[in-house]
């Protein structure tokens, strides 16, 4: 069990109107949880689907567990587990039947009962798929991704659309996968999820990887470990004039201004003084640690959620 | 083993869709009952002529009426205005009216099949009537008998219909239901999850073909049973031969549906593509009209198409009690088409 679980070089995929993946290089080590973070349309899903063999690439090399699609496609399929962004099963199949059926496609398989327990679907084991809630369907999709006891698991936005409690329990399942020694590659546009789960991250935007590293290193590389926020009642006013007066970058976000700074202690008195003399009608001041969201904002000038 | 699981799961899911399953089995029966009741007395569509009432009927008219009855043409005598109204509605195939000293026959160009046959009988009757009026010896008529091509049993229209329904049903099931379901499932992404498993495409497809095959066999059994109980139509040949032909035909046309579904991205596109195949297949099969006057190359091409040999063999066994011996070449054509279509289906099949 040595070497990388996944190695990608120069991956490129263009659709008629957009270049979805534009020269992506990635390397994922065995046993790590690796996250692809980026806004919708960044190319995360296309990248994942190329790796999973669902979409063909225009250019680039992929090595999965030391294997290539051209030569060892069936072996790759047997050793990876996949949760698609939306797993559409037949309406009237039950979780138990789906796990039995999909398990039967693989040489090596885990027991249906064990998997149902892992994702806490025992009570819904014999209900039709169409009657399951979104969270239950998502959990079934996760169980299906583990049906063959895979070495490498791909999860495409596993928690999108789930309530906070369901997200937490899904996180637990991912942590268990890591504890069992599996390599996990997941996509998400939740920065808290990326921070909580991932050993390493690649931030994607417009088909390119714009930063790679551990969550902590990505944030500390920013050199702006803190952000001062001024909140307003209603929409925040245009900050250009104030930014010039303060001689400091100010980002307007809905009802607040964000002022990234390496030294909040020095900034704060100046800020309050300037705000007072300019009669800025702010309500509150917050100081917070920088997050991956700020990393993304800093690198692209845009918010993850936009 | 994998194939068996796939097949069993197809059936299990199919059984849960009660409405679709019910109509799949009920529809051909409804068709058979409908047509069977309409043409119950056996002869198929009857020939009739509308006779416009002569202003002052003479001996010539009564002699013609008598002769028309003798040639067993159904005559409907109507006053001029009523006959014209019926003609205008397009319900009349042939209308006979007095014209000077003689008669005039108008044929409906939209109903040429019946009108043409009627014209022949009317002329025959007129020759007989003229001979009777002039006291000449009665013209002799050549005796006519109606038989099926196998020379064995006189044609009963419902019996003629039944194999046609069986055949039509499985062609439409193959081309429309199976292919359409396949395309729409792909459109909805139902196959994407399978694409990342090691399940081979051919097992997935063959599982579906086998499932549909068993559905068709059950469908055929129900149809045969209803035909027998309600109309007394019996299979004249061996059930083994019938089963073999049905299996071969179903396999062939299912494979057609799967192959075509590989060429369409959307259900709408599939509807267009399947019609493109279905209508030439039906129209050129020799089921509706013979191709004697078509160019030779077209006749050769049509002879290689699978529907006509399939229906010929089916009728030969079912209606005429024949054996499969004489149909080897025809059934080989069906089998080759089926295998080629299945190979194409596997080649063109996409999970997403």
Is the pLDDT at A110 greater than 60? The verdict is yes
Cβ separation of A54 and B190 shorter than 8 Å?
Answer: no
What pLDDT, in 10s, does the model give residues A234-250?
888 888 888 888 888 88
Kindly list the residues from chain A whose CB atom is less than 8 angstroms away from the CB atom of residue B9.
Answer: 93, 97, 101
Tell me: ipTM over 0.85.
Answer: no
Please name the residues between 84 and 143 in chain A that touch chain B, using a CB distance below 8 Å.
Answer: 84, 86-90, 92-93, 97, 101-102, 104-107, 128, 141
Cα(A95)–Cα(A89) distance, rounded to whole angstroms?
10
Predicted TM-score (pTM) of the model is 0.77
What pLDDT, in 10s, does the model give residues A260-279?
888 888 888 888 888 888 88
Stretch A139-145: mean pLDDT: 93
State which CATH number among 3.30.70, 3.40.190, 2.60.40, 3.30.450 fits the domain covering B48-134.
3.40.190
Beta-carbon count within 10 A of A191 CB: 21
> A243 CA to chain B: closest CA distance, Å?
50
Cα(A285)–Cα(B120) distance, rounded to whole angstroms?
104
Q: Which residue has the higher pLDDT, A294 or B8?
A: B8
- Specify the CATH number of the domain A4-219: 3.40.50.300
> B197 CA to chain A: closest CA distance, Å?
5
Is the pLDDT at A2 greater than 80? The verdict is no
Domain definitions of chain A by residue range: 4-219, 223-289
Kindly list the residues from chain A whose CB atom is less than 8 angstroms away from the CB atom of residue B188.
Answer: 88
Interface check for A82 against chain B (CB to CB < 8 A): the answer is: yes
Kindly list the residues from chain A whose CB atom is less than 8 angstroms away from the CB atom of residue B198.
Answer: 74, 77-78, 105-107
What DSSP letter does each residue of A37-57 carry, written as one string?
A: E--TTSSHHHHHHHHTTSS--
pLDDT the model gives residue B178: 83
> A84 CA to chain B: closest CA distance, Å?
7
Stretch A36-58: mean pLDDT: 91
pLDDT the model gives residue A19: 92
By percentage, how much of chain A surpasses pLDDT 70? 97
Which of A74, A88, A102 minimises the CB distance to B192? Answer: A88
Kindly list the residues from chain B whose CB atom is less than 8 angstroms away from the CB atom of residue A74.
Answer: 198
Q: Which of B16, B192, B199, B351 to mutate to test the interface with A (most CBs of A within 10 A)?
A: B192
Q: Which residue has the higher pLDDT, A145 or B212?
A: A145
Residues with Cβ within 8 Å of residue B145, at least 6 apart in sequence: B154
Is the pLDDT at A280 greater than 50? The verdict is yes
Question: What is the dihedral angle through the alpha carbons of B41, B42, B45, B46, rounded to the nearest 10 degrees?
Answer: -60
Kindly list the residues from chain B whose CB atom is less than 8 angstroms away from the CB atom of residue A156.
Answer: none
Is the pLDDT at A306 greater than 60? The verdict is no
Instruction: Pull the structure tokens for residue A301.
Output: 């000038």
Cα(B177)–Cα(B14) distance, rounded to whole angstroms?
13
What pLDDT, in 10s, does the model give residues B177-223?
888 888 988 888 888 999 999 999 899 988 988 898 888 888 888 88
Mean pLDDT of chain A: 89
Do residues A102 and A108 make contact, with C-beta atoms less than 8 angstroms apart? no
Q: Which residue has the higher pLDDT, A202 or B42?
A: A202
Where is A174: in which H helix or E strand?
helix A164-179
Kindly list the residues from chain A whose CB atom is less than 8 angstroms away from the CB atom of residue B351.
Answer: 54
pLDDT the model gives residue B135: 86
Domain definitions of chain B by residue range: 2-40+152-348, 48-134
Cα(B51)–Cα(B80) distance, rounded to whole angstroms?
9
Do residues A52 and A80 make contact, with C-beta atoms less than 8 angstroms apart? yes
Instruction: Pull the structure tokens for residue B331.
Output: 């059934």
Residues in chain B where the model's pLDDT stays below 70: 39-45, 146-157, 286-290
pLDDT the model gives residue A1: 46
The strand pair at A256-261 and A226-231 is best described as antiparallel
CA-nearest residue of chain B to A51?
Answer: B196
**Distance from chain centroid for Cα B334:** 18
Q: Which CATH architecture has domain A223-289?
A: 2-Layer Sandwich (3.30)
Instruction: Pull the structure tokens for residue A124.
Output: 């819904």
């Amino acid at each position: 069990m040595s070497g990388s679980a996944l190695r990608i070089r120069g991956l490129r995929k263009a659709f008629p109107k957009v270049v979805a993946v534009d020269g992506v290089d990635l390397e994922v080590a065995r046993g790590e949880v690796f996250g692809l973070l980026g806004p919708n349309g960044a190319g995360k899903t296309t990248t994942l689907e190329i790796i999973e063999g669902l979409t063909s690439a225009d250019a680039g090399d992929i090595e999965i567990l030391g294997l290539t699609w051209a030569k060892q496609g069936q072996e790759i399929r047997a050793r990876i587990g996949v949760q698609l962004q939306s797993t559409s099963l037949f309406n009237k199949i039950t979780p138990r039947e789906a796990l039995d059926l999909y398990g039967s496609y693989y040489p090596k398989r885990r027991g249906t009962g064990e998997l149902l327990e892992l994702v806490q679907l025992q009570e819904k084991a014999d209900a039709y798929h169409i009657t399951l809630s979104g969270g239950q369907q998502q959990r079934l999709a996760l169980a299906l991704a583990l049906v063959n006891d895979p070495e490498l698991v791909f999860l495409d936005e596993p928690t999108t659309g789930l309530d906070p409690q369901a997200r937490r329990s899904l996180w637990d399942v991912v942590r268990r996968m890591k504890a069992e020694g599996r390599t996990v590659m997941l996509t998400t546009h939740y920065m808290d999820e990326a921070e909580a789960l991932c050993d390493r991250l690649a931030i994607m935007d417009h088909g390119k990887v714009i930063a790679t590293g551990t969550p902590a290193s990505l944030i500390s590389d920013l050199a702006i470990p803190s952000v001062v926020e001024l909140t307003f009642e209603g929409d925040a006013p245009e900050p250009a004039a104030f930014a010039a007066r303060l001689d400091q970058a100010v980002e307007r976000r809905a009802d607040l201004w964000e002022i990234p700074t390496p030294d909040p202690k020095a900034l704060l008195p100046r800020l309050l003084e300037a705000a007072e003399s300019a009669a800025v009608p702010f309500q509150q001041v917050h100081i917070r640690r920088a997050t991956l969201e700020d990393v993304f904002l800093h690198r692209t000038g845009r918010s993850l959620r936009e | 083993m994998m194939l068996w699981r796939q097949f069993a799961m197809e059936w299990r899911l199919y059984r849960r869709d009660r409405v679709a399953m019910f109509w799949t089995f009920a529809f051909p029966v409804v068709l058979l009952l409908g047509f069977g009741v309409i043409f119950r007395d056996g002869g198929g569509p009857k020939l009739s002529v509308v006779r416009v009432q002569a202003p002052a009927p003479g001996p010539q008219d009564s002699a013609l009426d008598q002769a028309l009855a003798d040639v067993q043409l159904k005559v409907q005598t109507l006053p001029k205005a009523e006959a014209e109204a019926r003609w205008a509605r397009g319900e009349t195939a042939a209308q006979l009216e007095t014209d000077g000293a003689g008669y005039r026959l108008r044929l409906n160009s939209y109903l040429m099949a019946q009108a043409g046959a009627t014209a022949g009988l009317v002329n025959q009757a007129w020759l007989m009537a003229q001979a009777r009026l002039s006291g000449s010896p009665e013209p002799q008529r050549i005796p006519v008998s109606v038989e099926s091509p196998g020379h064995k049993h006189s044609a009963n229209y419902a019996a003629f219909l039944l194999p046609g329904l069986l055949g039509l049903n499985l062609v439409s099931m193959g081309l429309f239901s199976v292919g359409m379901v396949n395309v729409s499932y792909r459109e909805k992404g139902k196959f994407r999850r399978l694409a990342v498993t090691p399940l081979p495409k051919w097992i997935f497809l063959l599982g579906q073909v086998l499932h549909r095959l068993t559905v068709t066999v059950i469908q055929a059994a129900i149809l045969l049973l209803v035909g027998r109980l309600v109309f007394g139509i019996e299979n004249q040949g061996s059930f083994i031969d019938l089963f073999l032909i049905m299996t071969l035909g179903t396999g062939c046309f299912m494979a057609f549906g799967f192959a075509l579904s590989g060429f369409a991205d959307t259900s709408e596109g599939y509807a267009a593509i399947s019609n493109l195949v279905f209508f030439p297949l039906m129209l050129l099969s020799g089921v509706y009209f013979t191709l004697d006057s078509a160019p030779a190359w077209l006749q050769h091409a049509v002879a290689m198409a699978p529907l006509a040999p399939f229906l010929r063999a089916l009728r030969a066994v079912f209606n005429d009690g024949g054996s499969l011996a004489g149909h080897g070449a025809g059934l080989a054509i069906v089998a080759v088409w089926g295998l080629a279509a299945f190979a194409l289906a596997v080649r063109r099949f996409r999970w997403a």
